[in-house]
Amino acid sequence: MTADELKSLYLGFFQQKGHALISGSSLIPQNDPTVLFTTAGMHALVPYLLGEHHPAGTRLCNVQKCIRTGDIDSVGDPGHLTFFEMLGNWSLGDYFKEEAIQWSFEFLTNKSYLALDPAVLHITVFQGDEFSSPDRESFEIWRKLGIPEKRIFFLPRADNWWGPAGQTGPCGPDTEMFVDTGRAACGAACRPGCNCGKFFEIWNDVFMQYNKLPDGSYVPLSQHNVDTGMGVERTAAMLQGKSSVYDTELFAPIITTLAKLSGKAFGESAEVTRAFRVIADHLRSAVFILGDEQWVAPSNLGQGYVLRRLIRRAVRHAKKIGLGPGFSKAVAESVVATYTKNYPELSARGAHILRELAAEEEKFEKTLAQGLAELDKALEQLKQHGQTALTGRVAFRLYDTFGFPVEFTEEICREHGLTVDQEGFAKAFARHQEVSRQGADKVFKGGLADNSAATTRLHTATHLLHKSLQAVLGPHVQQKGSNITAERLRFDFTHPAKLTPEELLRVEALVNDQIQKALPITMQVMTLEEAKAAGATALFATRYGEQVKVFSVGDFSKEVCGGPHVANTAELGHFKILKEEASSAGIRRIRAVLMEKPA
């Protein structure tokens, strides 16, 4: 079964169960500013998991593109990836444990679907702790479906609890499904979840019953939700009997390209195999980040830092197999060709992707040899003096002067049996004032910090600000990002020049004029095409199925938006611009607050 066949089968199955097919969201989270990238399908759905009505209903399914970098150093083994596709189905206050588990079992074992032998299935459920009781209900459902007790394992929070997408939010216990691969057990304690490879995790059903608060406490959600996840690449590899995700059709064109460029054969040695895998994974991830509707450029901050790290790590491994300058173009083209059927935006942004990759590769090539020479000298001195840790000062110099991400330096040091003084690096980094100043808020690329009343008011104000900027400066003004907390809003927009004091006063006055008019804020659900025809601004084209929410502020503004809003502009008080500054080339940034109306 190919990956495309798996996706089609999965989505068709859940559509038959009454689930609406919705589009995947951007790799840059919009409803959760506490994480850099979308790591699961739940990110875009956080407001709906918390109780807000979803335009497509209470049963949803989709394929979500994800980036996870927590295991980036493990990439190169048979199974770890930074970019992957995730199949998911959701219940938003609709069905719960019984239906979710029954349908999981049906999809896995029914001959019309994956047709797995029930005898190979092993299950884990949450064993309970001081915050939540053991999940006996899931245990009993699995047992009634025919899974014997000896193949159902109660495991702790580290194994069977799904936390919020960021630091706070919806969470709860999960039940996970594993397939026994038939390999020998690693010992008497071998069980699903151990790392020996005997048990392959194929799916998990998360039962979101709680909301984690900023103080670390848990309170029951107003509704019970289900959030499931099945990794496309790993599941396809298992169904095809492959020992590695890199042996599937998803990576074959990329591997073939690398073989032609390097003259080496995939699998000829452990070092070559690892290099092929790292390059394939990292450049595939980079292509999807650069091809995203809210793409970021390589930089030393936030998402841009992750992107730079991926590209530069790929360049280093390319050197190991003899790839010369410019290799990233051919690899990127093979990624685009492989995925353009499902992700046409990659073709549409193809020239941009190739340009950004080439620029970053060239930039790194210029300093790579110098940086490696500098590091080699430092490592040789460490060994001569019997030291085992590279100083933070040297690590920061490599970062600041030669563009070596500190993780890059750590990786090279590990290969020599050495470590990096992370504390010393952090101190050196902190002294770099400009980077520190920008880094203070760059991680918050977009979206809302929470759904509090104060944040909701400021979010509503961004609609008025956006329209006011267009009215004062012209229709070329387009939102490029926002970050909203309970204290203030930050709004990035396209404009070629610094705003004059007069322009800022006009924008501020126009916003406050709409507040004083006490305009009602209404919401309509319609298709994206209908929204555009009605004159609504549709930023980023992020859709939830075929239906979107359109918020109108009187006759002043009309935007497609999924966030929370107040009912009337009179609730906003008084709008005040604190600062206007450059964000990046051609992008300006406004910081503003809402205050009580002046006397």
| Confidence band for 432, pLDDT divided at 50, 70 and 90 | low
Every domain of the chain and the residues it spans: 3-243, 251-442, 447-595
At 242 the pLDDT is: 92
Q: Is the pLDDT of residue 282 over 70?
A: yes
The pLDDT of 436-462, averaged and rounded, is 64
The pLDDT of 468-494, averaged and rounded, is 88
The two three-digit tokens of residue 344, written as one number: 């046409």
Q: Which residues does 524 contact at the CB level (< 8 Å), separation at least 6?
A: 549, 550, 552
| Confidence band for 33, pLDDT divided at 50, 70 and 90 | low
Q: Is the pLDDT of residue 583 over 80?
A: no
The pLDDT of 55-78, averaged and rounded, is 90
Alpha helix (H) residue ranges in 240-344: 252-262, 270-290, 302-320, 327-339
Q: Cβ–Cβ contacts within 10 Å for residue 189, how many? A: 7
Highest-confidence range of 254-263, 395-404, 436-445, 582-591, by mean pLDDT? 254-263
pLDDT tens digits, one per residue of 290-306: 999 888 888 877 888 89
Q: Cβ–Cβ contacts within 10 Å for residue 468, how many? A: 23
At 182 the pLDDT is: 85
Nearest to 163 by CA among 195, 192, 206, 203: 206
Q: Is the pLDDT of residue 318 over 80?
A: yes
Percent of the chain with pLDDT over 70: 94
Q: Is the pLDDT of residue 223 over 80?
A: yes
Q: Is the pLDDT of residue 584 over 90?
A: no
Q: Which residues does 577 contact at the CB level (< 8 Å), separation at least 6?
A: 504, 507, 508, 590, 591, 592
Using CA atoms, how far apart are residues 330 and 323, in angstroms rounded to an integer?
11
Q: Cβ–Cβ contacts within 10 Å for residue 324, how many? A: 10
At 79 the pLDDT is: 85
CATH code linked to domain 447-595: 3.30.980.10
The secondary structure element, H or E, covering residue 173 is strand 169-180
At 444 the pLDDT is: 41
Using CA atoms, how far apart are residues 497 and 582, in angstroms rounded to an integer?
9
Q: Is 311 helix (H, G, I), strand (E, B) or coil?
A: helix
The pLDDT of 581-586, averaged and rounded, is 77
Q: Cβ–Cβ contacts within 10 Å for residue 77, how many? A: 13
Mean pLDDT of the chain: 88
Q: Is the pLDDT of residue 323 over 70?
A: yes
Q: Which of 84-88, 278-282, 451-455 bottoms out in mean pLDDT, i.e. has the lowest?
A: 451-455
Q: Which residues does 473 contact at the CB level (< 8 Å), separation at least 6?
A: 495, 499, 503
The secondary structure element, H or E, covering residue 90 is strand 83-92
For residues 203 and 108, is the Cβ–Cβ distance under 8 A?
Answer: yes
Q: Is the pLDDT of residue 539 over 50?
A: yes
Nearest to 302 by CA among 433, 403, 438: 438
At 436 the pLDDT is: 37
At 35 the pLDDT is: 76
Domain 3-243 identical in fold to domain 447-595: no
pLDDT tens digits, one per residue of 231-250: 999 999 999 999 899 999 99
At 591 the pLDDT is: 92
At 429 the pLDDT is: 78
Residues constituting the chain = 599
At 435 the pLDDT is: 42
Q: Distances from the Cα of 491 to the Cαs of 289, 357, 469, in angstroms?
A: 22, 28, 11
The pLDDT of 26-37, averaged and rounded, is 75
Q: Is the pLDDT of residue 440 over 80?
A: no
Tell the CATH topology of 3-243.
Answer: BirA Bifunctional Protein; domain 2 (3.30.930)
Q: Is 265 helix (H, G, I), strand (E, B) or coil?
A: coil
Nearest to 375 by CA among 318, 414, 331: 414
pLDDT tens digits, one per residue of 263-277: 999 999 999 999 999
Whether the CA torsion 591, 481, 357, 298 is positive or negative: it is positive
Which of 113 and 480 is assigned the larger pLDDT? 113
Give the CA diameter of the chain.
78
Q: Is the pLDDT of residue 556 over 60?
A: yes
Crossing angle for the helix pair 252-262 and 327-339, to the nearest 10 degrees? 160
Whether the CA torsion 410, 411, 413, 417 is positive or negative: it is positive
| Confidence band for 34, pLDDT divided at 50, 70 and 90 | low
Q: Which residues does 15 contact at the CB level (< 8 Å), separation at least 6?
A: 21, 61
Using CA atoms, how far apart are residues 136 and 154, in angstroms rounded to an integer?
9
At 585 the pLDDT is: 67
Q: Is the pLDDT of residue 546 over 80?
A: no
At 449 the pLDDT is: 59
